[in-house]
Amino acid sequence: MASANLASQNDVCRHGKLIFIKAAGRIESTANISNRMFTVNLPTVSDTEGDSVMRNAILTELYNIFGVPASNHANHVMYCLPPNRMSGIAYA
């Protein structure tokens, strides 16, 4: 049986209509994108602040690192937030 991961489960859910492909690995002065993943550290965002505050902070930090909006680097951006940050279960 094949292993389940974000790409494989997305393919099952969307019946092959949205395919994630691996971007070339790249290292910038403060950024390391590897295997489709990038971690943003937000030391100034409180653990009690909600998902909208965290989402805006993530977008700002991505802009600060790359100098352009996140949409200039990828067609789709997924946020994997720490536990208990969202007011609901999910949104798209």
Cβ–Cβ under 8 Å, residues 63 and 87: no
**Each residue's pLDDT tens digit, 12-35:** 888 878 776 665 555 555 566 666
Type of residue numbered 21: I
SS3 category, 90: coil
**Using CA atoms, how far apart are residues 54 and 82, in angstroms rounded to an integer?**
10
Residue 51's Cβ-side half-sphere holds a number of Cα atoms within 13 Å equal to: 15
pTM check: above 0.85: no
Q: pLDDT tens digit string along 43-82?
A: 888 877 778 888 889 889 888 888 888 888 777 777 777 7
